[in-house]
Structure 1
Amino acid sequence: MTREEAEAILIKAGEGPDEGFPLFEAALACAVHDDPSRDTKAAVDLARDAVERLRRRAESESPEEAVAETLAGDLRLTGDVITYDHPDNADVIAIAHRRRGLPVALGVFYLHAARAVGLELYGVDFPGHFLLRIETDEGPLALDPFSEGRVVLPSELSRRALRTGLMPDVAARLELLMAPISDRAVLIRLQNNIFARAQQAKDWPRAERSALRRALLNPKDHRPWLDVAAAREGQGALAGALQALSRAQILDGGAAIAARAARERVRLRLN
């Protein structure tokens, strides 16, 4: 797959509805878009193996046990606690080789397998740490893909929420803490992770690519284009930064003031 082919997949996914969003295909395209020199076979094989194993386990085990035993037990997917900020932790191709990664990147494999076998598993945009929500006969449960898919008790969810700075009345509302998000939002959160790390490392080309992927995945959102502009400015590509800022203004008049100020700053640097 070339970078251009990966972009075509992301454009199609971005223009489509949330229902039936091709999460794994789009995540794989994101990884190729970042580095098209790699072979995707390991990631494809891992995703296929996850589906086959989970289907068998789901016939005799509870949903939460089947998911955790398949993805963390059989396939050894777990969080990288040693080199948490390593770029490979946010890349599904690298994860297929290392079997370690960030919660949201690991979650892509969890969600893909669950979708294929008919389990109700969703991403949860929990503050500071991505989680999964699975529907069971006893009600919804929170799973942590970073901690081998283990169940996170309600009391622990509230404690985690308090540690992120949420007010006690909000941290006690499990329906808010466990609200499911779309698969599109899951993949966008992953790209946000990549952008933040690349920006911190001043790896502006990688930051630009991740911001562009967010723009393709959610074409009505102006905010990714502001990040594209910042990454291009970091590389000294001022004309390209101006183009991205203009795109942001077109998409959302509410961004006009910030984008206009940024455009003027960049324009002055051109003269």
Structure 2
Amino acid sequence: MDAVARFAQVCVQESPPLDLGLAAITCAFQSKVTEVQLIARLDELAEGLAAKYRLEMGQDISWLSGAEFSRTLFGAEGFQGDQLEYSSPSNSLLNEMLDRRRGIPITLTILGIEIGRRCGFNFFGIGMPGHFLMGEVGNSRQFFDPFEAGRVVSAQEARELFHAMHGHQHRFEEVFLAPAEPRQILMRVLNNLHAAFVNQGDPENLERVLNLQSVIPGYAKEALGQLAGLLATQGRFTDAAKIHDRLCLEDPTNLQGHERAAQQLRARLN
């Protein structure tokens, strides 16, 4: 099964597992790694962290508070925000992040959620505009910032962070601190890769991103439209026309428009 098909299989689940989703994304761009290898690395990291804490403290790691666990993973264990190459695709790929112990807010949060789950914690992602935080089920008073050494962030500090990034002319909404749905998180990872490959002028990898985005329920129409445009700019008119054929099913409200676009693209081959 190729990476796109596997990603589609993950995304149709009611609550897609973030570790499997990020592993499938990674495998789409890294042909030498497998999902089994990536999941095993997460398991080993969690087991090693738990064993280390048990040896040093004589207790199960789940006795830590969420804040202590966050500071441990994103402090003592060395996983940290990549301040120098923030927009690098490496920060969105699981194997690269594990190798370098560097990432961006969203992928570090996924790491925290998945390592935390393996250690007995119940974390979730918070998709603030322009930033990503980690929350803990049952703890509504504080959040954690994996990009900043796992520090504790209060609701007021999150509000101040938002205004520092976007200005006070923009209103902060409480919904910004609500748990993000797994599909939204995976889509946002792909949006980061999309931006990175556009900036690098890398149409081959941009095509991979759009193919992945096109299989996330609820996002197919926009991704397929962009994919058709990308293929057409490369002179791949037949492939672009086939995408519009798919859009006839995905976007029936614009059936005539997609039929016309497919016809025009095929006419360019004559």
TM-score, L = length of structure 2: 0.82
Compute the displacement of 1:45 (Å).
Answer: 4.7
- Equivalent in the alignment of 1:100: 102
> Is residue 2:3 matched to residue 1:6?
yes
Number of matched pairs: 262
Q: Deviations over 1:84-131 (max 9, x none)?
A: 122211111111111111211222211112233442311111101122
Over 3 Å counting, the alpha-carbon distance change for 1:157 and 1:257 in structure 2 is: farther
Q: Distance in 2 between matches of 1:230 and 1:163?
A: 36
Alignment RMSD, CA only?
2.9
Deviations 1:8-33 (A, max 9, x none): 32121122212xx2221221121111
The aligned counterpart of 1:17 is 14
How far apart are the structure 2 equivalents of 1:246 and 1:146? 42
SS class of match (2:215) = helix
Corresponding residue for 2:31? 36
Which digits, 9 at most, give the CA deviation of each residue in 1:229-248, with x for residues without a partner? Answer: 23323433222122223323
Following superposition, the deviation at residue 191 of structure 1 comes to: 0.8
Q: 1:34 to 1:75 in 2, by over 3 A?
A: same
Return the offset for 1:164.
4.7
Q: SS in structure 2 opposite 1:181?
A: coil
Aligned to 1:238: 237
In structure 1, what is the Cα distance between the partners aligned to 2:262 and 2:167? 35
Counting only pairs closer than 5 Å after superposition, residues 103-142 of structure 1 correspond to structure 2 as 103-137=105-139, 139-142=140-143
CA distance in 2, matches of 1:85, 1:261: 38
Q: Percent identity?
A: 23
Distance apart, 1:256 and its partner CA: 5.4
Q: Secondary structure at the match of 1:170?
A: coil
Identify the range of structure 1 (71-80 vs 155-164) with the bigger mean alpha-carbon deviation. Answer: 155-164
C-alpha separation in 1, matches of 2:256 and 2:157: 42
Which residue in the other structure is 2:148 paired with? Answer: 147
Moved more, 259-268 or 155-164: 259-268
The TM-score, its normalising length taken from structure 1, stands at: 0.82
- Structure 1, unaligned stretches of length 5 or more? none
Deviation at 1:72, TM superposition (A): 1.3
Shift in Å, 1:224: 1.6
SS of the aligned residue for 1:142 comes to: strand
Contact persistence 1:11–1:216 (CA under 8 A)? yes
Larger radius of gyration: 2
Identify unmatched segments of 5+ residues in structure 2.
Answer: 54-59
Deviation at 1:265, TM superposition (A): 6.8
Given that 2:242 and 2:262 are in contact with CA atoms closer than 8 Å, whether structure 1 keeps it comes out as: no
CA distance in 1, matches of 2:131, 2:256: 32
Q: Which moved more, 1:261-270 or 1:199-208?
A: 261-270
Q: Which residue of 1 aligns with 2:42?
A: 47
Deviation of the 1:143 alpha carbon: 1.5
Q: Bigger shift: 256-265 or 94-103? A: 256-265
Alignment partner, residue 67 of structure 1: 70
Bigger CA drift: 157-166 or 84-93? 157-166
1:225 aligned residue: 224
The offset of 1:212, in angstroms, is 0.9
Q: Could you list the per-position Cα deviations for residues 137-177 of structure 1 after superposition, in whole angstroms to 9, with x for gaps in the alignment?
A: 5x342222211221223333222323454776831x4x312
Deviation at 1:263, TM superposition (A): 5.1
